[in-house]
Structure 1
Amino acid sequence: MRLLYIFITGQVLIALTSAAPGIKDDLTQDTPYIKELLRQAKTAEIESFMDQKADPCHDFYSFSCGNYARINSALSMQVFTTGIFQNLNNGFDRKVIKMLNTYEIHDSSEDIQVKYFYESCLRIKELNSTYTEKLKSLIAEFGSMPVLEGSSWEEEDFDWLETTARIAHQYEEIVIVGAEVFKDIVNNQRNRVYIVQQEFPLEKRSMYLNNETLIYREKYLGVIENILERFLAVEKELAKETAKELFDFEVELAEGLSSPGEGLSDLAELLTVAEIQERYSPTLDIKRLLSVSMGETISEEIYEYNKRYQQNLVEVIERTPKPTVANYIFYRLIYEFVEKPSDRPEKQKQACVDLTKKFFAKNLDNMFYRRYNNEKSSREIENMWRQIKSSFNDTLRSSQALDWIERPTRNLAIAKLQAMTLEVNNYAEDNFTEEFADLHLQSSDYVENVRRTNLLAAKRKRETLYQPAKPVEAGSKLSYSPANILIENTIKIPVALLQPFYLWSDVYPNAVMFGTLAYLIAHELIHGFDDNGRKFDAKGNSHDWWDERSSSNFLKRRECFTKQYGRYKYDGNLLKESTSQAENIADNGGMRLAYTAYRKWYESQVEKDLAKETLPNLRYTAKQLFFISFAQIWCNDVHPKVKTLQVLTDQHMPGKFRVIGPLSNFDEFSREFNCPSGSAMNPLEKCVLY
């Protein structure tokens, strides 16, 4: 007899006694023994997370996830958060690190260049003193930095708009404000220029302005100071003083950031260049910004994105000393090229994987897909997609299920659903040879590699303006979490979800896979019909296709969710009410849709085909197992220091409320767990949209 430890999601799940001491410990074997072993392991995982003493009708999250935080403590693991998506990402990263650290005969020349980039990051210490000189050379391409020049800096020679536009033209880096090329939201077959804001390191306006997030601002201020001192050799006191000036300037710029829940269709306004010029001239010379950054005069209409930002920018620029603006622009230029090496090899590897993802996410996804492609998982996803789509189609056609939507609008919703597609993000059709032409990355110089990558990206951006629109690329954001690309009416599934045993396995009951994988797909489908998604049509173009009565009914029903989720308390505080309910609508509708699809599948099976719809030694019915599996997607633990951050920056609810919110609105859940009417998980008033 021997102990066999089974790993499924990075945790030791169970120790089983094996009566077959000579069997090969290979989970890929298609044998009855291995299949049963995997089913036993899944049982052990599910039970280990549960607190079966908790009342499922009082708090189903505690019932399903009551032991999760003890087993997977964010504090003890020294991470921000733990959960299934972190496990998926960690598993993906482990495989990526393995790929990047080995050269194989089937590597393409583009694969090798990506590996060179990663290797140059690992060797960053070898740059030594030349690192500072390389960064200063970058600055010298566009002028001089006051903090480095001191009293010799000539203020009258500095033109902030010219400088930032030249940086964008050369390296595609938008500092303060700039021009981006993206699909036209009302005609997604072509591209247009958008006037957009820079990316902000702290991302959200609340991170820059709220008292609760002060600790994060203080940490970021320290980062700025460290970059000036360590990478530009600025004297300590001067670095501290300058960092404060730059940070205060960035906070003032952040005053103009958009509010949570505002989508692209809400914020983008199509105007002539002359109209935007008139709004902000002479402080913000849009014509010159476009001419320099795009390398040509733009004569056709363009989009202004979030005009509140530009309005605020004009006021901020007019009252800010030129040296501060100059220092900020050059600091943001080198920010893209700075990487602090770690003395711990494993930490450095992870940092370099993250940086390689930042620049070459789709290459890594494609490399992963070619190496680890699992046809079973791809077929499983496609099969689930068909069943989910069919179930929602039946719902839309029902005269009772969605009677709050007028028939003509419902017909347009059916057309949108029929046109909606699902794709695995494998980039198998991309021409990487063409994309990497003239790149020539090397394994020895990280700064030069970033420079060449950005140089090529800037050139490609300008060229795309007159090319047919290509599929949206969102980099590493699409690497492990599914997404609905509203402007394409397409759901993208990351290759990381193809990893077996996290969410799917052909030996798991369908109850488990519909409660997890199918739910995630259904969640994204419902996004096509939420606050923002309903503003895009079947072709993925922005236009209002809802009649007035149906739209009014949608808003009334949405208000129910606003009140419901505004009553929940997290970490002792009431969650803030928000008119934007996109994620809560998708959570509720996605769970209902996945369950409907599962129930239809279940009812179509003969009794002998349902033998494996439960797990060994787990005393729950197949339909109860669906709800437990759904809940356990959201089992997590959050480090105490980032709970406030989560509430202020994440449009998603904390995991607990992503479980109890949708399930307490669902009659079929209450029936399966015999929850009495009026109990916490079966309230008299329920919120329903889809």
Structure 2
Amino acid sequence: MFRSSKNAECVIILSILLFLHPIGVDNAPASNTTKEPMKSLDSEWAKDISQQAKAAEIHAMLNTKVDPCIDFYQYACGNWYRHHPAQLFNHLITDRFQLIASAFDRRLQLVLSEPRGHDVVETKLKDFYHACKLVEKDEVRYKVALQRIYQEFGKLPMLDGEDWKSEEFSWWESVAKIQHKYGKQIILAVDIMADIVNNTGNKVYIGPPDFSISSGIKILSTLQEITTVQHMKRFFGIEETKGTKITKELIAFERALVRGGSDSRKGLTLHDLLSLKSVGELRKMYNESLDLAKFLQLALGAERVPDYIYIYDEKYLNSVVKIIAETPPHVVANYILWQMVQPYIVDVKKGNMAKWCVERTKKYFGKFVDYMIYQRYKDPDVEKEVYDMWNEVREVFRSELRGNKLDWIINSTRDYALQKLDAMKLYINSYESENFTAEYVDIELTRNNYVENLQKILQRESSRKLQRQNGPVVPLEAPEVFTFTPVYNVLENNIKIPVALLQPRYFWGAHYPQALKYATLGYLIAHEMVHGFDDDGRNYDKLGNLRNWWDEKSTYQFEERRKCFQAQYHKYRYDGHQLRNDVSQAENIADNAGVKLAYEAYQRWLNAQRSANVTGIERSETFSQLHFNNEQLFFIAFAQLWCDDVQSFFRTALAISDSHAPGMYRVIGSLSNFQEFSWVFKCGQDAPMDPEFKCSLY
């Protein structure tokens, strides 16, 4: 599509340079003071270079040998793997968000590498990071500290042999004590968070934990087994043959636990899975095999046991008792204590320690990391763009709800949907209102003992969680997730934008056509907004309480449209396997509606510019180096948001385990349901990207 191939090569080089080192950001000298955004892109020459670089980046991903009306993903992303191969970089998957996360990590690593300053909390982060990096240089001290961890809660059968006594072992007492002190959830997870029915107070929840070593995918299971055996040998001196036997027992035990829970593919909602029960009732149900009253006393503290708790997935709880009764006690004991030491395991390839320690710092100081990076690189102009886009996209959806396109929804239900939409808020995860000095005042970290530091952090976090029960309402948070992708919080009815997304010129920029901004930022915001009205979000009211506010007729119509998406996406094949036949279609619903709402918002903006006779609007909405009109650029930018490369061994795992469709079908599925796409690219009526029957909900 370029008019000069020689010029294209030069611009691609410039694109790489700009991508790896955004002007005025990564090259800016770091300090502990807030910086004004540098204006190094103000000159016409710099603007032109910036535009050429972006055009080169777009062009480099295209495979113009593919007909866009046959497979638009391959057309838009066909050369992604050449520039970002998963195999070459030793990543399971490469995609756009990984690139943004890497850029964020580079900024964070620069800050963590600065000399310690006067900021007390920042100094604690730097001490944690420094101690983490020292593990590589002092493995003897690390191994000693690692072995002390499990000894706090008794003997380990795999190490202590005959000295371990089964009659002295109670699995649920061990699990409760570990969770109380360090917050590590093993076999049974106890959480304290907002009451799902009435979020004006907190409630205790008990259910399955997040499992780590039980993948049913053959290649993943093999790698998990090899890694676990290596860890047992390296850190605890367990001979390989013995380690292999123990590992197989642990994996088999955890798989049994996973199978004991409800099948996620059935689309069960929280309403289906949650049941409120009295502690007394639960004690009678399980008798001595699992004394839940005593378990909760140990896990929460005797004075904190409530009269009623929520059981999440009662099927799982029932199966746990049965599975443990059928499993040799030494296997259960090995599993519990092996799981307990997992947060402390450090297994990093040589040369990757600094990057790994950056990840650990984000994991355990997530909110402060976002705050710290935000203070250094914040740009009021970029923030304004985010909030303006939110208002535009929300207004489009508001118009849809008021208009005739959604006449299948009864007026009373539409009226409440509008109330929920009006109540929905959007925030940037800057955490400027947090008092981090007070939050971290009670934790002292060293510069030379990573394991000890991590113990202190986990103890502090566990103590803070336990105090939630009678404290202010606190939704369940995951700062390490917020760092990378926008998130809709169904319990608060709000959208949180990660600081990483504000980095300049990755998705959109002041000197790029606005079509790119609407296709990326606009779509991402619209996608999250629609989650408030998908097959899960629609079960919550405007205050975030679990409540059915849909009338019967509208519910029936919703279900018929949801089934269309279920059938459509289940027919898609990825690496030879059909996608999951999930009842839940939340992500596909959000993808389909999100791109439509973003496109309509762009059309409204464009029409407003034309009505105002803005000079050069048609020219500024295209790249002179590319032969695409502005509408085509919109769809290309949307598609390239989902470019990825997945290592061939793991494609099957992705197809059958992820609730999101693979990137190619997030593009193909959404755009083949969108008639405007076919018109823009002039697709024939028999083209695969323009099927006769299209799924649509919003």
CA distance in 2, matches of 1:43, 1:51: 14
Contact residue 178 and residue 195 of structure 1 kept, 8 A: yes
Confirm or deny that 1:338 pairs with 2:342.
no
Confirm or deny that 1:532 pairs with 2:536.
yes
Contact residue 567 and residue 581 of structure 2 kept, 8 A: yes
Quote how far apart the aligned CAs of 1:266 are. 3.5
CA distance in 1, matches of 2:237, 2:39: 54
Cα distance 1:330–1:403, how it changes in 2: closer, same or farther (>3 A)?
same
The one-letter code matched in structure 1 to 2:464 is R
CA distance in 2, matches of 1:104, 1:235: 43
CA distance in 2, matches of 1:471, 1:255: 28
Cα distance 1:75–1:142, how it changes in 2: closer, same or farther (>3 A)?
closer
* SS of residue matched to 2:206: strand
Partner of 2:279: 273
Q: How does 1:241-280 map to 2 (within 5 A)?
A: 241-258=245-262, 259-260=264-265, 261-280=267-286
The one-letter code matched in structure 2 to 1:143 is G
Contact residue 39 and residue 616 of structure 1 kept, 8 A: no
Q: Mind listing any 5+ residue stretches in structure 1 that lack a counterpart?
A: 14-25
Contact residue 365 and residue 495 of structure 1 kept, 8 A: yes
The one-letter code matched in structure 2 to 1:102 is E
CA distance in 1, matches of 2:477, 2:16: 31
Quote how far apart the aligned CAs of 1:234 are. 2.7
Question: Which of 493, 499, 513 pairs up with 1:509?
Answer: 513
Question: Which of 464, 475, 478 pairs up with 1:474?
Answer: 478
Quote how far apart the aligned CAs of 1:471 are. 4.8
Cα distance 1:401–1:184, how it changes in 2: closer, same or farther (>3 A)?
same
Cα distance 1:515–1:96, how it changes in 2: closer, same or farther (>3 A)?
same
Quote how far apart the aligned CAs of 1:243 are. 2.2
Quote how far apart the aligned CAs of 1:511 are. 0.5
Contact residue 165 and residue 178 of structure 1 kept, 8 A: no
Tell me how large the CA RMSD over aligned residues is: 2.1
* SS of residue matched to 2:488: strand
Partner of 2:614: 608
Contact residue 341 and residue 348 of structure 1 kept, 8 A: yes
Partner of 2:35: none
CA distance in 1, matches of 2:388, 2:116: 34
Q: TM-score normalized by structure 2?
A: 0.92
Deviations, residues 630-684 of structure 1 (Å, cap 9, x unaligned): 1111112111111011112211111111111111111111221222223211111
Confirm or deny that 1:426 pairs with 2:438.
no
Question: Which of 583, 589, 596 pairs up with 1:585?
Answer: 589
CA distance in 1, matches of 2:166, 2:222: 30
* SS of residue matched to 1:189: coil
Partner of 1:631: 639
Cα distance 1:263–1:431, how it changes in 2: closer, same or farther (>3 A)?
farther
* SS of residue matched to 2:201: strand
Question: Which of 319, 322, 335 pairs up with 1:328?
Answer: 335
Partner of 2:33: none
Contact residue 128 and residue 447 of structure 2 kept, 8 A: yes
CA distance in 2, matches of 1:277, 1:8: 62
CA distance in 1, matches of 2:433, 2:579: 44
Deviations, residues 94-148 of structure 1 (Å, cap 9, x unaligned): 111111111364x621111111111111001344333333233222222211222
CA distance in 2, matches of 1:502, 1:262: 37
Deviations, residues 450-475 of structure 1 (Å, cap 9, x unaligned): 11011111111111111011354212
Cα distance 1:238–1:511, how it changes in 2: closer, same or farther (>3 A)?
same
Q: How does 1:266-665 map to 2 (within 5 A)?
A: 266-297=272-303, 298-342=305-349, 344-345=350-351, 347-398=352-403, 400-606=404-610, 607-609=613-615, 610=617, 611-665=619-673
Contact residue 664 and residue 681 of structure 1 kept, 8 A: yes
CA distance in 2, matches of 1:61, 1:216: 27
Partner of 2:29: none
Contact residue 396 and residue 410 of structure 1 kept, 8 A: yes
Confirm or deny that 1:226 pairs with 2:234.
no
Contact residue 131 and residue 231 of structure 1 kept, 8 A: no
Partner of 2:95: 83
Q: TM-score normalized by structure 1?
A: 0.93
Partner of 2:679: 671
Contact residue 181 and residue 465 of structure 1 kept, 8 A: yes
Quote how far apart the aligned CAs of 1:27 are. 7.8
Contact residue 53 and residue 63 of structure 1 kept, 8 A: yes
Cα distance 1:92–1:12, how it changes in 2: closer, same or farther (>3 A)?
closer
Contact residue 61 and residue 80 of structure 2 kept, 8 A: yes
Quote how far apart the aligned CAs of 1:91 are. 0.9
| Paired positions, count | 667
Contact residue 579 and residue 656 of structure 2 kept, 8 A: no
Deviations, residues 19-64 of structure 1 (Å, cap 9, x unaligned): xxxxxxx983311111121112111111111123322222211221
The one-letter code matched in structure 1 to 2:412 is P
Question: Structure 1 residues 142-151 or 528-537, which shifts more?
Answer: 142-151
* SS of residue matched to 1:615: coil
CA distance in 2, matches of 1:501, 1:9: 12
CA distance in 1, matches of 2:475, 2:269: 19
CA distance in 2, matches of 1:508, 1:115: 37
Question: Structure 1 residues 384-393 or 604-613, which shifts more?
Answer: 604-613
Partner of 1:101: 113
Contact residue 193 and residue 474 of structure 2 kept, 8 A: no
Quote how far apart the aligned CAs of 1:291 are. 0.5
Question: Structure 1 residues 559-568 or 71-80, which shifts more?
Answer: 71-80
Question: Structure 1 residues 577-586 or 225-234, which shifts more?
Answer: 225-234
* SS of residue matched to 1:78: coil
CA distance in 2, matches of 1:633, 1:500: 15
Partner of 1:152: 163
CA distance in 2, matches of 1:573, 1:239: 34
Partner of 2:209: 198
Confirm or deny that 1:119 pairs with 2:127.
no
Contact residue 86 and residue 646 of structure 2 kept, 8 A: yes
CA distance in 2, matches of 1:561, 1:9: 41
Cα distance 1:387–1:278, how it changes in 2: closer, same or farther (>3 A)?
same
The one-letter code matched in structure 2 to 1:277 is R
CA distance in 1, matches of 2:157, 2:57: 59
Deviations, residues 491-523 of structure 1 (Å, cap 9, x unaligned): 111110011010121111111100111101101
Quote how far apart the aligned CAs of 1:300 are. 2.7
Partner of 1:16: none
Contact residue 191 and residue 466 of structure 1 kept, 8 A: yes
* SS of residue matched to 1:605: helix
Q: How does 1:153-172 map to 2 (within 5 A)?
A: 153-172=164-183
Contact residue 541 and residue 547 of structure 2 kept, 8 A: yes
Partner of 1:216: 220
Contact residue 43 and residue 617 of structure 1 kept, 8 A: yes
Deviations, residues 347-398 of structure 1 (Å, cap 9, x unaligned): 1112111222221122211111111112221111001000001110000011
Confirm or deny that 1:43 pairs with 2:43.
no
The one-letter code matched in structure 1 to 2:283 is Q
Partner of 1:22: none
Quote how far apart the aligned CAs of 1:76 are. 2.7
Question: Structure 1 residues 589-598 or 304-313, which shifts more?
Answer: 304-313
Quote how far apart the aligned CAs of 1:580 are. 1.4
Question: Structure 1 residues 569-578 or 645-654, which shifts more?
Answer: 569-578
- Percent identical: 38
CA distance in 2, matches of 1:125, 1:387: 50
* SS of residue matched to 2:508: coil
CA distance in 2, matches of 1:236, 1:573: 35
Contact residue 8 and residue 501 of structure 1 kept, 8 A: no
